[in-house]
Amino acid sequence: MSSKRFGVAAIVIGSVLSVFSSYARAAEFVEEIERDFPLKSIGQLHVTNMRGDVSVQGWALDKIRIKARRKAIADTQEEAQKLFSTMDFRYRSIDGSDIELSAEYGRGLDIQARLKERESPRTGMEMIVFAPGNLKLKISTVDGKATAKSWSAPLEIRTAAGPIVVQRVKSQSVSLLCPSCLMKIENVKASIRCMGGTGKIELKEVRGGSVYAETSSGSIVMNTVIGEQLYVSSSGEITGKALDGRIEFHAQTAPVEINSSSGFLSGRTTSGAISAQMKRWKFSDKALIETDSGNISLRLPFAFSGDVDIWSLEGKTEVGFPVRKLEEAAVGPQPAERFYGRVRDGGELLKLYTKFGNIRVFRGETDASAARAE
């Protein structure tokens, strides 16, 4: 679609902002443009920018508005204007339903000029998109920041290095993928899947049917998360507070620390320590907390009721509450102190096990009358 049809409002607002070593005399020039597109379909909106940030925000208007900040490295303003002319948007409807909105670079250049421009880019663009929040949304970038706010439909973000920010989203699903970047998810009601790597994943005020976060060395930090949760990390620490629901983890050398949480906890590490404090415990299945060589420290609520199997093969085991012994046929090597039995009225099984670490299990404080009644 032509710029005349949509009334491009372009204002050159920048001059010299910074000097780049690869262009001794060149400076960064900036141009801001704004453009509206009529909405003719209600399929998926796919926003792509390979050289800059993308921010998409939901609004109530029945159209799509783009505000862009184009940048060019040039010796003069005249040269910058020529470079600006090679950057634009491609807006098209696919099969009459899905919408593709992408930043284009090298428009109007021949093949040789395009290849040269790709090898040594002198242009880039930051995109801010306003669109109806009920459209399915997919954002793709390379190393730019990807942001989605105030959205109410399924959301997917893919980037290679740029940070990801998702805020005020209420939808069926949110899917995020980045092998190296920071992910921040806040005030979201949706099933969430975060596939990370070396970057940190932060989840705050999240409620979903399922919540999944995975990293290699990046840490996973959770605050006020409700739902069926699974956290996976190789070496990045897993820390959470005010969690509620079925909480599971799988880690190798990563330590795990869960505080002030409710529901039940299950998971294992190879060598990372496990520390947890549960305010309320409600079984939805058997619970296994296991590590090969790490220590385990678990504080259960005073009202905890269930069967327990607590032991360290070569370490020390400390249990700070009464356990009524149950008989079980011994299989394999047995530790000197193994606590296998029933707590209060019994119930589903909670098993804590480590080969070489120490285990300490105790219950939260309560008033003296409740303790005597037990």
For the stretch 18-62, pLDDT in tens is 333 344 467 999 999 999 988 877 789 999 999 999 999 999 999
Residue with tokens 């299950």: 266
Q: Which residue has the higher pLDDT, 268 or 8?
A: 268
* Each residue's pLDDT tens digit, 196-208: 999 999 999 999 9
Question: What residues does 59 pair with on adjacent strands?
Answer: 132
Residue 368 has pLDDT above 60, yes or no: no
Pairing mode of beta strands 88-94, 44-49: unpaired
Q: What is the largest CA-CA distance in the chain?
A: 88
% of the chain residues with pLDDT over 70:
88
How much is the average pLDDT of 206-214?
A: 97
pLDDT for res 330: 53
* Each residue's pLDDT tens digit, 220-252: 999 999 999 999 999 999 999 999 999 999 999
pLDDT for res 216: 97
Amino acid letter for position 7: G
Task: Give the model's confidence band at 2: pLDDT under 50 very low, under 70 low, under 90 confident, else very high.
Answer: very low
The answer to whether residues 117 and 105 touch, using CB atoms and an 8 Å cutoff, is: yes
pTM for this model (two decimals):
0.87
Question: What residues does 7 pair with on adjacent strands?
Answer: none
End-to-end CA distance of the chain: 76
DSSP track, 58-97: EESSSEEEEEEEEEEEESSHHHHHHHHTT-EEEEEEETTT
Residue 11 has pLDDT above 90, yes or no: no
